[in-house]
């Protein structure tokens, strides 16, 4: 489960951006709270924190995040954030295990600026910008078969529409000229299978294979009638300890779509796909993503941040944190039957992870594309 907050910049000085990230952490950490229940079998962990972020694209963003865990039965995170530039993101996602079934779901509403970029190798500036509203619902009921395999029905409903397209000089454009922003909807149902020997929230030692196959219908303002649609998604991940202080993490993801409308197609760039590339740089109905990173634990049982928080707010408990340095490399490539395969996009960089064991991760990633300028991501949740 992840909450993604991105700080991306092609402008401004490096020290200013680092200062913005540091201020964000100062605000998040002292107000975070963990509450332990008295249940004899397990503890309920609750994390809640207001926060603010800033970057040259979105301006100041104010938000509130909430997370709760009751391992291994419950894990959920929800978030609301609003930027002074008018962008908004709300979502809730989680897993709950009841008997033989684990119910997995995500509901989100997002209003943000999306862009169309020219085909330049490095740091393209947008040609067209538009506000896009999106609603996304994904649900699955996975029955357990043994200790590692889960299988069951799944649904995916998503709709998106663009508004007020503008060129680079803020001149208004005709929405009908840009299929990527025209309204589209999908409603799909099928099955999901997951085989895992490690946590899907923060993989530590083992592997994960996750396959979702869905079929249904798609609607678009470009079409005269609904069309059949199909989505196949595969994710595989491996977490392998090398030393007590070192862990290797690898991930691959493949996606195929049939008639999914343009605003709902796979995309490249951003913290979820290829760090260091412009957000939603390219879209298409075929996608391949890979990620490799090495986690170096440099500090264990670090209590100073929570001791400071406890001195300010006495109800906040003192607990030990871990600090990781995480060099990474991401790669993604997008294709579509209409235009074939686009060039592969690459990103590499370094992350600083602050971990509340076993699964809550606050991370700062600095990524860049070959020959490009740095982009910054402040994120809650592991990079899975």
CA dihedral (79, 114, 382, 21) in degrees, to 10, reads -80
Q: pLDDT (tens digit, 9 = 90+) per residue, 107-147?
A: 999 998 889 988 888 878 889 999 999 999 999 999 999 88
Tell me how crowded residue 32 is: count the other CB atoms within 10 A of its CB: 23
Give the per-residue pLDDT at 310.
Answer: 81
Q: Could you tell me which residue, 256 or 81, shows the higher pLDDT?
A: 256
Residue 384: pLDDT band with limits 50, 70, 90: low
Instruction: Report percent pLDDT > 90 for the chain.
Output: 47
Domain tally, the chain = 1
pLDDT band, residue 356 (cuts 50/70/90): confident
Neighbouring C-beta atoms of residue 64, cutoff 10 Å: 14
Rounded to 5°, the CA angle 265-380-68 comes to: 105
For residue 134, tell me if it sits in a domain.
Answer: yes
Q: Are the beta carbons of 202 and 189 closer than 8 angstroms?
A: no
In whole angstroms, what is the distance from residue 27 CA to residue 174 CA? 42
Range of the domain at 157: 6-380
CA angle 282, 287, 291 (to 5 degrees): 95
Does some domain include residue 127? yes
For residue 1, being part of any structural domain is answered with no
Residue 19 has pLDDT above 50, yes or no: no
Task: Examine residue 35 and state whether it is found in any structural domain, yes or no.
Answer: yes
- CA–CA separation, 45 vs 371, rounded Å? 43
Please tell me which residue, 225 or 8, carries the higher pLDDT value: 225
CB neighbours of residue 241 within 10 Å: 13
**Cα gap 128→188, rounded to integer Å:** 30
Is the predicted pLDDT of residue 33 greater than 50, yes or no? Answer: no
CATH number assigned to the domain comprising residue 32: 2.40.160.50
* Mean pLDDT across 182-189: 96
pLDDT of residue 95: 87
State phi, psi for 357 to the nearest 5 degrees: -60, 145
Q: In the chain, what percentage of residues exceed pLDDT 70? A: 85
Distance CA 307, CA 292 (A): 34
User: If you average pLDDT over every residue of the chain, what do you get?
Assistant: 83
3-state secondary structure the chain: CCECCEECCCCCCHHHHHHHHHHHHHHHHHHCCCCCCCCCCCCCEEEEEEEEEEECCCEEEEEEEEEEEECCCEEEEEEEEEECCCCEEEEEEEEEEECCEEEEEEEEEEEEEEEECCCCCCCCCCCEEEEEEEEEEEEEEEEEECCCEEEEEEEEEEEEEEEEEEECCCCECCHHHCHHHCCEEEEEEEEEEEEECCCCCCCCCEEEEEEEEEEEEEEECCCCCCEEEEEEEEEEEEEEEEECCEEEEEEEEEEEECCCCHHHCEEECCCCCCCCCCCCCEEECEEEEEEEEEEEEEEEEECHHHHHHHHHCCCCCCCCEEEEEEEEEEEEEEEECCCEECCCEEEEEEEEEEEECCCEEEEEEEEECCCCCCEEEEEECCCC
Q: Is residue 91 assigned to a domain?
A: yes
Q: Are 265 and 186 in contact (CB under 8 A)?
A: no
Per-residue confidence band for 57, with pLDDT thresholds at 50, 70 and 90: low
Residue 259 has pLDDT above 60, yes or no: yes
Please state the separation of Cα 194 from the chain's center in Å: 19
Residue 305 φ/ψ region, left for φ over 0, alpha for ψ in the -120 to 50 degree band, beta for the rest:
alpha
Q: Is 339 left (phi over 0), alpha (psi -120 to 50) or beta?
A: alpha
């Amino acid at each position: 489960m992840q909450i993604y907050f991105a700080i991306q910049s092609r402008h401004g000085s490096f020290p200013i951006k680092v200062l913005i990230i540091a201020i964000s952490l100062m605000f998040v950490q002292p107000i975070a709270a963990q509450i332990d229940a008295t249940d004899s079998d397990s503890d309920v962990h609750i994390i809640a924190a207001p926060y603010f972020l800033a970057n040259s694209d979105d301006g100041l963003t104010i938000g509130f995040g909430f997370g709760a865990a009751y391992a291994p039965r419950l894990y959920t995170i929800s978030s609301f954030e609003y930027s002074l530039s008018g962008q908004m993101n709300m979502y809730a996602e989680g897993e709950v295990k009841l008997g033989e079934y684990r119910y997995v779901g995500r509901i989100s509403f997002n209003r943000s600026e999306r862009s169309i970029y020219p085909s330049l190798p490095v740091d393209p500036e947008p040609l067209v910008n538009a506000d896009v509203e999106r609603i996304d619902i994904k649900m699955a009921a996975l029955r357990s078969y043994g200790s590692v395999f889960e299988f069951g029905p799944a649904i995916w409903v998503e709709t998106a529409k663009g508004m007020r397209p503008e060129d680079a000089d803020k001149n208004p454009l005709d929405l009908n000229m840009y299929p990527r922003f025209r309204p589209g909807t999908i409603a799909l149902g099928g099955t999901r299978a997951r085989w895992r020997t490690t946590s899907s929230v923060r993989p530590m030692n083992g592997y994960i294979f996750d396959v979702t196959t869905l079929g249904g219908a798609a609607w678009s303002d470009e079409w005269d009638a609904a069309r059949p649609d199909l989505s196949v998604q595969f994710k595989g991940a491996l977490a392998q300890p090398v030393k007590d202080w070192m862990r290797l993490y690898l991930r691959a993801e493949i996606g195929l779509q049939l008639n999914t409308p343009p605003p709902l197609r796979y995309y490249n760039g951003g913290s979820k796909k290829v760090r260091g590339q412009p957000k939603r740089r390219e879209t298409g109905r075929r996608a391949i993503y890979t990620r490799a990173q090495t986690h170096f634990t440099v500090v264990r049982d670090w209590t100073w941040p929570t001791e400071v928080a406890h001195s300010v707010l006495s109800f906040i408990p003192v607990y030990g944190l871990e600090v990781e340095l995480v060099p990474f490399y991401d790669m993604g490539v997008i294709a579509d039957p209409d235009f074939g395969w686009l060039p592969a996009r690459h990103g590499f960089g370094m992350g600083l992870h602050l971990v509340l064991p076993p699964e809550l991760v606050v991370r700062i990633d600095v990524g860049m594309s070959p020959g490009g300028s740095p982009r910054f991501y402040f994120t809650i949740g592991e990079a899975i």
